[in-house]
A = this chain, B = another copy of it.
Amino acid sequence: MKLRIEKLSIIGFGNVGSHLAAAFDRQGIHVSHIYTRSRDLASQSAGATNSILVERIEDLPERQLVIICVPDSAIPDVLNQISDSCPVAYTSGSIELETLPPRNRLGVFYPLQTFTKGSALDLSQVPFFIESNDAYFGSELFDLGWAISRKVNYASSQERKHLHLAAVWVNNFSNHMNFVAHEYLKSKDLSFDHLKPLLLETAKKLGTENPFDAQTGPARRNDSSTIEAHLKELSGTQKEMYRLISKSILDIYSNDKL
């Protein structure tokens, strides 16, 4: 199938922008122009993708799709600098389409994944969520997503916000749990490496089981003596978190709410 979008520009070349550019490049979709505030990072990668690095947003080509990959707070300002002739998509999970300055052919191209610059990632399994104020442009964005992923979906701003909030629990907060464990073991001169097989299995289990059934541990089995022993080991915010999360688990299984 011939793609309607064969060339595009990218604004912002951090974790998301650099991964998208590499994925488009592999599929023969030409990232012809890149604008980024951080010149060093971009110039390296831009060389690899045959992109022109522009000095100002106004230097991006007219009438060509621009994908914005900047932090949420910078989106309105960036948007105002892009020529009205360009269709624009942004990659944020939380910004609602209707809260942005109105313009023709504005859309969302949201990849639900955590990106780390410099580490390869198979985008073909990453879910993309598409939205637009223009149905035809929306279908172009959908097809563009399909060129790099097998998991493209349309989603409203509300649905995207819900998915993003869920992602905060699954990624950001889980990562913080790992951080606490990491620091705790470091303070006891024990290696975090011991936990890595457990980390992987924890994630893999969710492929076949739902988290309700997968729950194990002291709070799940109401083992108050282990919980008390653990609380004695902790202090401050970590102790509060241990207590609150354990309480939340206990409540769910004791009341059998589900």
Residues on A facing B (Cβ under 8 Å): 15, 71-73, 94, 112-114, 116, 119, 121, 125-127, 151, 153, 159, 161-163, 165-182, 184-185, 188, 190, 192, 194-212, 214-221, 223, 225-226, 229-230, 233, 237-238, 240-242, 244-245, 247-249, 251-252
- Indicate if the CB atoms of A194 and B245 lie closer than 8 Å: no
**Chain B residues near A195 (CB-CB < 8 A):** 112, 163, 166-167, 170
Q: Report B-chain residues with C-beta under 8 Å of the C-beta of A166.
A: 181-182, 184-185, 190, 192, 195
**Chain copies in complex:** 2
Q: Is the CB of B230 within 8 A of A114?
A: no
Q: Is the CB of B208 within 8 A of A119?
A: yes
What are 21 inter-chain pairs, A to B, with CB distance below 8 A? A73-B225, A94-B218, A114-B216, A119-B208, A125-B197, A165-B233, A172-B218, A174-B174, A175-B214, A177-B177, A178-B211, A179-B215, A179-B252, A181-B211, A192-B206, A196-B206, A199-B206, A237-B247, A240-B244, A241-B245, A244-B244
The reply to whether B159 and A169 contact each other, CB–CB distance below 8 Å, is no
Task: Tell me the minimal C-beta distance from A211 to chain B in angstroms.
Answer: 4
Is A112's CB under 8 angstroms from B171's CB? no
Interface centre among A169, A174, A175, A244 (most CB of B within 10 A): A169
Q: Nearest 5 pairs between A and B by C-beta?
A: A172-B217, A203-B203, A179-B211, A166-B181, A169-B181
The distance in angstroms between the C-alpha atoms of A252 and B180, with both chains bound, is 11
What CA separation (Å) do A214 and B119 show in the bound complex?
A: 12
